[in-house]
C-alpha cells in the first residue's frame, strides 16, 4: 500500500460513475474493483474506469471477494440506500474473516433512518478501520473559496455569519428505487436535504473549528408532494420508472423546506434554511448556496456559469434527450447553461483527493460515519416536524424508533 491505494466500489450506477469520472484528478489511488449484484453493470463500470485510465478495475462476483482481494485497500460504498446496512455487514464479516482493509467511505445519506445510521456506526467501529462520509458539496471549489474569503475578509472584522441558505432542485431521480419511500427512506428530503443541511452547517462553522462548535437547538420543516401526485404525472412515473412507483397510493414528498436553529459556543443564534425539490422545472440540476453576516454576504449558483448555448426550435426533430450539458438536464432547446466539468464543480474531485490522502496517511477524517449519523438524525427531526406540524426541540428522545411517514408501508 506504500504510496498508493487500491479502491473498490460497491455499486455501479450513476453515483459510482460520477466518482469514476472524478478519479482522473486523483493522484494517489487507483480504482481496482467494482461490485454490483448485476454482473453486467459491474463489468460496464469497470470498463469505464479502464477507459479513463484511472485503474485496472475488474468486476467482482461478491462483496466478500472484493474486500479480501490484496489489491483492494479501501471501499467506497455507493450502492442503494436500502442495501447500506447489509452491504456494511458483509464488509465487516469479510474483515473479521481476515481481509485486510484500511478504510471505508460511504456515500450520502449514511442510512435511511436514525436506527440504521446507528447500526452503520456500530459496524464500522467493529471493523476497526478508518471511515469517511462522502458529502461532495462541501468540497465544491466555489463553496470552499467563498467561505474562506467571507470568513477572512468579513467575519474577522464585522462578526460571524448568522444565516446560511442552501437549495438543491431538479426534476427527479434516475432510478425507480429513489421514488419508493420504503426503499429510499423517504422522498426528496432524505435524498437531497442531507446535502443542503450539511452545506449550511459547514458555512456557519468557523474555518478550522470542530463540527460541534455549533449545535442544533430546534428544527422546523414542511414537506409536500406538489407535482408527482397529480394524475398525469402519476401515470408518467409509472410508465417511465415502474408500476411499483405509484404516487396515487404511496407518494413521497417532492418538495421539502427546513429551518434549523443552531447556537455557537457563546450562545449566538444561527440559522440554516434548506430547500430541496424534485418538482423544479429548469435547465437541469440547480444548486444555490448563500451565507450572510452583519456587513457581508456570498452566493453560489451552479446555473450561473460562464458558458451557455442556444438551439432554435428548427432543431427540435434533430435533438435527442440526454444529459450532455448538465446533470438532470431537462431540455434540449432554447438557452442552456453548460457545466464544463461537473465532477470538479460539484466537489467530487476535491472530495476524492481529500479522502484518499487522509486514508493513505492514516488520518481519521472529521467527516466520518459519526458525521453522517448526525446528518441523518437531523433529517429525521425534519420529518417529525413536518408530520406533527410543530417545532422539534433538539434532541428528540424517540429518534431511534422513528421512521418517516413516506417510508412506512
3-state secondary structure of 318: helix
Q: What local confidence, expressed as pLDDT, does residue 308 receive?
A: 78
- pLDDT tens for 268-311 read 999 999 999 999 988 888 999 999 999 999 999 988 877 777 66
Q: Residue for cell digits 460571524?
A: 160
Confidence of residue 318 (pLDDT cuts 50, 70, 90): low
Beta strands in 236-377, from DSSP E residues, in sequence order? 255-263, 269-277, 286-293, 296-301, 308-311, 334-337
Would you say the C-alpha torsion 39, 44, 49, 53 has a positive or negative sign? Answer: positive
Of 98-102, 230-234, 267-271, 336-340, the one with minimum mean pLDDT is 336-340
Q: What local confidence, expressed as pLDDT, does residue 324 receive?
A: 59
Cβ(274)–Cβ(167) below 8 Å: yes
Q: Which three cell numbers stand for residue 255?
A: 418538495
Cβ–Cβ contacts within 10 Å for residue 390, how many?
10
What is the residue-averaged pLDDT of the chain? 94
Element spanning 104, H or E: strand 103-107
Q: What local confidence, expressed as pLDDT, does residue 27 receive?
A: 94
3-state secondary structure of 320: coil
Tell me, yes or no, if the pTM score tops 0.85: yes
User: What's the whole-number mean pLDDT along residues 256-265?
Assistant: 98
Query: By C-alpha distance, which of 217, 216, 220 is closest to 390?
Result: 220
Domains of the chain: 5-109 (3.40.50.720), 138-349+376-393 (3.30.360.10)
| CA pair distance 277, 171, nearest whole angstrom | 8
| CA pair distance 71, 100, nearest whole angstrom | 10
- pLDDT tens for 385-409 read 999 999 999 999 999 999 999 999 8
| CA pair distance 241, 81, nearest whole angstrom | 18
Phi, psi (5° rounding) for residue 400?
-65, -25
| CA pair distance 271, 59, nearest whole angstrom | 45
User: What's the whole-number mean pLDDT along residues 102-109?
Assistant: 98
Would the pLDDT of 48 be above 90? yes
Q: What local confidence, expressed as pLDDT, does residue 333 receive?
A: 61
What is the DSSP track for 199-223?
HHHHHHSPTT--GGGSEEEEEEEEE
Cβ(13)–Cβ(41) below 8 Å: yes
**H helices, E strands: number in the chain:** 14, 15
User: What's the whole-number mean pLDDT along residues 61-72?
Assistant: 98
Of 63-77, 147-161, 296-310, the one with minimum mean pLDDT is 296-310
Phi, psi (5° rounding) for residue 113?
-160, 175
User: What's the whole-number mean pLDDT along residues 253-257?
Assistant: 98
User: Does residue 109 have a cis bond before it (omega within 30 degrees)?
Assistant: yes
User: What's the whole-number mean pLDDT along residues 226-241?
Assistant: 95
Q: What local confidence, expressed as pLDDT, does residue 1 receive?
A: 43
Cβ(72)–Cβ(66) below 8 Å: yes
| CA pair distance 170, 330, nearest whole angstrom | 8
Confidence of residue 150 (pLDDT cuts 50, 70, 90): very high
Inter-CA distances, 35 with 5, 42, 91, 135, 136, Å: 17, 6, 12, 21, 22
Q: What local confidence, expressed as pLDDT, does residue 2 receive?
A: 53
Q: What local confidence, expressed as pLDDT, does residue 323 receive?
A: 61
Inter-CA distances, 5 with 32, 49, 54, 96, 363, Å: 9, 15, 12, 21, 14
Would the pLDDT of 158 be above 50? yes
Q: Which three cell numbers stand for residue 168?
A: 438543491
Q: In the chain, what are the helix, strand and coil shares in percent, each to the nearest 5?
A: 40, 20, 35
Cβ(10)–Cβ(77) below 8 Å: yes
Q: Residue for cell digits 444555490?
A: 288
| CA pair distance 303, 296, nearest whole angstrom | 23
Phi, psi (5° rounding) for residue 371?
-65, -40
Q: Which 8-state DSSP code applies to residue 361?
A: T
Name every residue whose Cβ is closer than 8 Å to that of residue 30 and which is 6 or more positions away in sequence.
4, 5, 6, 7, 54, 55, 56
Q: Which three cell numbers stand for residue 20?
A: 469514476
215: which strand partners? 263
Would the pLDDT of 115 be above 90? yes
Amino acid at each position: 500500500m506504500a504510496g498508493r491505494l487500491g479502491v473498490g466500489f460497491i455499486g455501479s450506477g450513476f453515483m459510482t460513475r460520477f466518482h469514476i469520472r472524478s478519479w482522473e484528478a486523483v493522484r494517489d489511488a487507483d480504482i481496482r474493483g467494482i461490485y454490483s449484484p448485476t454482473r453486467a453493470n459491474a463489468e460496464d463500470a469497470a470498463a469505464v474506469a479502464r477507459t479513463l485510465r484511472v485503474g485496472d478495475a475488474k468486476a467482482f462476483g461478491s462483496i466478500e471477494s472484493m474486500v479480501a482481494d490484496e489489491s483492494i485497500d479501501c471501499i467506497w460504498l455507493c450502492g442503494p440506500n436500502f442495501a447500506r446496512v447489509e452491504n456494511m455487514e458483509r464488509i465487516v464479516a469479510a474483515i473479521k474473516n481476515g481481509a485486510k482493509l484500511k478504510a471505508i467511505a460511504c456515500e450520502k445519506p449514511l442510512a435511511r433512518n436514525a436506527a440504521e445510521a446507528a447500526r452503520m456506526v456500530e459496524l464500522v467501529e467493529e471493523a476497526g478501520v478508518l471511515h469517511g462520509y462522502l458529502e461532495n458539496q462541501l468540497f465544491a471549489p466555489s463553496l470552499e473559496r467563498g467561505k474562506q474569503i467571507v470568513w477572512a475578509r468579513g467575519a474577522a472584522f464585522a462578526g460571524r455569519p448568522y444565516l446560511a441558505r442552501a437549495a438543491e432542485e431538479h426534476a427527479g431521480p434516475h432510478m425507480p428505487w429513489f421514488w419508493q419511500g420504503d426503499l429510499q427512506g423517504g422522498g426528496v428530503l432524505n435524498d437531497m436535504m442531507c446535502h443542503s443541511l450539511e452545506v449550511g452547517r459547514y458555512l456557519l462553522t468557523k474555518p478550522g473549528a470542530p463540527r460541534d462548535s455549533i449545535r442544533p437547538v430546534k428544527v422546523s420543516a414542511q414537506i409536500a408532494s406538489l407535482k408527482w401526485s397529480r394524475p398525469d404525472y402519476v401515470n408518467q412515473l409509472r410508465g417511465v420508472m415502474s408500476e411499483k412507483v405509484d404516487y396515487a397510493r404511496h407518494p413521497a414528498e417532492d418538495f421539502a423546506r427546513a429551518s434549523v436553529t443552531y447556537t455557537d459556543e457563546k450562545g449566538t443564534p444561527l440559522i440554516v434554511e434548506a430547500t430541496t425539490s424534485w418538482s423544479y422545472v429548469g435547465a437541469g440540476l440547480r444548486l444555490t448556496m448563500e451565507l450572510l453576516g452583519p456587513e457581508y454576504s456570498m452566493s453560489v449558483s451552479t446555473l450561473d456559469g460562464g458558458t451557455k448555448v442556444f438551439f432554435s426550435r428548427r432543431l427540435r426533430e434533430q435533438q435527442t434527450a440526454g444529459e450532455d450539458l448538465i446533470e438532470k438536464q431537462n431540455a434540449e432547446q432554447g438557452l442552456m447553461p453548460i457545466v464544463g466539468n461537473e465532477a470538479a464543480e460539484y466537489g467530487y474531485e476535491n472530495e476524492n483527493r481529500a479522502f484518499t490522502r487522509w486514508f493513505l496517511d492514516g488520518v481519521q477524517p472529521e467527516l466520518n460515519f459519526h458525521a453522517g449519523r448526525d446528518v441523518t438524525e437531523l433529517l429525521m427531526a425534519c420529518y417529525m416536524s413536518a408530520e406533527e406540524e410543530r417545532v422539534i426541540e433538539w434532541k428528540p428522545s424517540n429518534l431511534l424508533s422513528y421512521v418517516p411517514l413516506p417510508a412506512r408501508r
